[in-house]
A and B are shown apart, each in its own frame.
Chain A
Amino acid sequence: GAVVSQHPSWVICKSGTSVKIECRSLDFQATTMFWYRQFPKQSLMLMATSNEGSKATYEQGVEKDKFLINHASLTLSTLTVTSAHPEDSSFYICSARDAGDSYEQYFGPGTRLTVT
């Protein structure tokens, strides 16, 4: 089956620093990748949609200058949390849609970000 990886799986950073999270589709080409955020005991909230070679589309209330998304190739999208603050601590999950698939999204294992 289709596999999506994320790196790192967990990261601790100091307030004010930036953190980059990578999302890779390992065995398929992903024209579209999605970035979600999940707070404890809450559901996944879509942050943005990332299309290869174009600018990401952000959901309402998500600061595009704070959460920088780059989708430079058909297998890699990155999310950079800039000037992180403790309230950005969360579980960040990406998913990827196979261009040849009609509906399914494949989820990465998630990245646990803790900002101290």
Chain B
Amino acid sequence: GQNIDQPTEMTATEGAIVQINCTYQTSGFNGLFWYQQHAGEAPTFLSYNVLDGLEEKGRFSSFLSRSKGYSYLLLKELQMKDSASYLCAVSGDFNDYKLSFGAGTTVTVRA
């Protein structure tokens, strides 16, 4: 089975940095995704990691350690519009591309 854990909620101040952790135990591994989802909308792609290390994309960075089954999403220079749910998802099988999602972390950015 697939088990993906991430914190339920986080709160941070505008301009600050927040790190959202994700741990996973899956029967296979073909990459880890981070998505942003605003209430009532579909998820939007943020990042993809398949090799160990840090991937940086503007204000967002994502890290992966396959040996530890661990990833984090780092949000820098937080803006009010970053208030959303952040979903960690793992692709377990190269052949079917199915994604297993964590429950999501709701980030609230305060002025």
- Type the 1/0 row for B87-111, where 1 means its CB is closer than 8 Å to any CB of A: 1010100001111111110000000
Say yes or no for B44: interface residue by CB 8 A criterion: yes
Contact A42 B48 (CB under 8 A): no
Is A112 within 8 A of B40, CB to CB?
yes
Interface of A is mostly: strand
How long is the Cα–Cα vector from A103 to B98 in the complex, in angstroms? 10
Name B's interface SS.
Answer: loop
**Stretch of A11-19, A43-51, A63-71, A77-85 at the chain-chain interface:** A43-51
Cα distance, A42 to B102, chains bound together (Å): 9
Chain A: CB-nearest residue to B89: A44
**Residues of A contacting B48 in the complex (Cβ-Cβ under 8 angstroms):** 103-104
Known: A103-B48, A107-B43, A110-B42. A44 touches B97 (CB 8 A): no
Which residues of the other chain, B, contact A90 by a CB distance below 8 angstroms?
none
Among residues of A, the one whose C-beta sits closest to the C-beta of B2 is A46
Cβ–Cβ contact A103 & B50, under 8 A: yes
Pairwise interchain contact B44-A97, C-beta atoms closer than 8 A: no
Task: Determine the chain B residues whose CB is within 8 A of the CB of A43 once the complex forms.
Answer: 87, 101-104
Check A34/B87 contact, CB under 8 A, given A103-B31, A107-B43, A109-B41.
no
Task: Please list the residues of chain A having a beta carbon within 8 angstroms of any beta carbon in chain B.
Answer: 32, 34, 42-46, 49, 91, 93, 95, 97, 103-110, 112
Closest CB pairs A-B (n = 4) = A107-B42, A43-B101, A43-B103, A44-B101
